[in-house]
Every structure is written in C-alpha cells, then in structure tokens.
Amino acid sequence: MAKYLERDARASVVVDTCDLERMEFLQVTMHGKAEVAPFDQVLARRLLRRYLGEDEEAWHPDFRHYADDGRLVRFTPDRTVVKDLSKNGET
C-alpha cells in the first residue's frame, strides 16, 4: 500500500450503515490525502483496547499481531459528504 500512496496520496473513505428494521441507510464519504505514518505501538494498543477491551488475550489473533508490528495510515479529509439514502431521507 505504501508504494501506491507515494505515487498518489489521494484517497476516499466511505462508511455506510444499514438498519433494515427502520429502513434507514446512512452514508459518510470523505475525500482527502493519505500517508503511511510511523508505527506507534503505544497508540495502536490504546486504540485497540478502546474497541476490543483491556484483555489482549481475548483479542482475535490478527489484532494481537497488528498491535506488535502493524502499519498506520493517516488520513486527512479535505471534503466530507453526509447522505441519508433512506426512502424518506434528506441529502
């Protein structure tokens, strides 16, 4: 991934939610630049503990490995678009 970002740092991130019971469909799209950031093991563990819990032994092995020597990508959005794609939603 790093070689692609070195060539062209433009990136987009899309987050969709879908609640079928309420028929609610929401989307956030961000456009900006991404860069490979120096890996900070303390920061990585802090973020993972926030979402996965304090007990690292209970984490899926993929996340335990990531906390040891993963890569971080820093994304800086230039533009954010929020849409309600529900039938009666407003854009």
Residue 91 has pLDDT above 60, yes or no: no
Helix, strand, or coil (residue 33): strand
CA 31 from chain centre, in angstroms, equals 13
Q: What pTM, to 2 d.p., does this model score?
A: 0.64
Domain borders along the chain are: 2-84
Express as a percent the part of the chain with pLDDT over 90: 53
Identify residue 35 by its one-letter amino acid code. E
Position 2: which residue type?
Answer: A
Q: pLDDT of 42-62, one tens digit each?
A: 888 888 899 999 998 898 887
Residue 34 CB partners (closer than 8 Å, separation 6+)? 5, 9, 10, 11, 73, 74, 75, 76
Which superfamily does 2-84 belong to? Electron Transport, Fmn-binding Protein; Chain A (2.30.110.10)
Q: How far apart are CA 87 and CA 83, in angstroms?
A: 12
